[in-house]
Amino acid sequence: MFYPATGSRFPINGVFDAAYRDVDLADPLTGVTSTQPVLGVRLALFKALLKEPPAQDDQVYIPSVAKRYLVLDVRPDSHGWAKLMLSEM
């Protein structure tokens, strides 16, 4: 379930990863990894239902883990999908 910061909630489908690993190669000799929950979503779904893409401070409920998450960042790719970087509430 998707809860926009403003507006009504609506159901969405996506691919949830509770421990997505992000590697930061700021220093080529030592990479830094961190894990955080991520939801992969199709952006076309949001354009059809919300008329705008997902944004920071929106929320999602993931039924498989029975938790609600805050969207910290939206990282679109070049194929019409985006990773919603999440934080537990």
Round to whole Å and give the CA distance between 50 and 46: 5
Residues 6+ apart with CB under 8 A from 65: 16, 18
pLDDT score at 50: 82
- C-alpha gyration radius of the chain: 14
pLDDT truncated to tens, each residue of the chain (89 aa)? 999 998 899 999 999 999 866 656 666 666 556 778 999 999 998 888 888 899 999 999 999 999 999 999 999 999 999 999 999 98
pTM of the model: 0.83
The burial of 44, by beta-carbon neighbours within 10 Å (0-12 exposed, 13-18 middle, 19 or more buried), is given as exposed
Domain-wise residue ranges, the chain: 2-88
Round to whole Å and give the CA distance between 22 and 28: 15
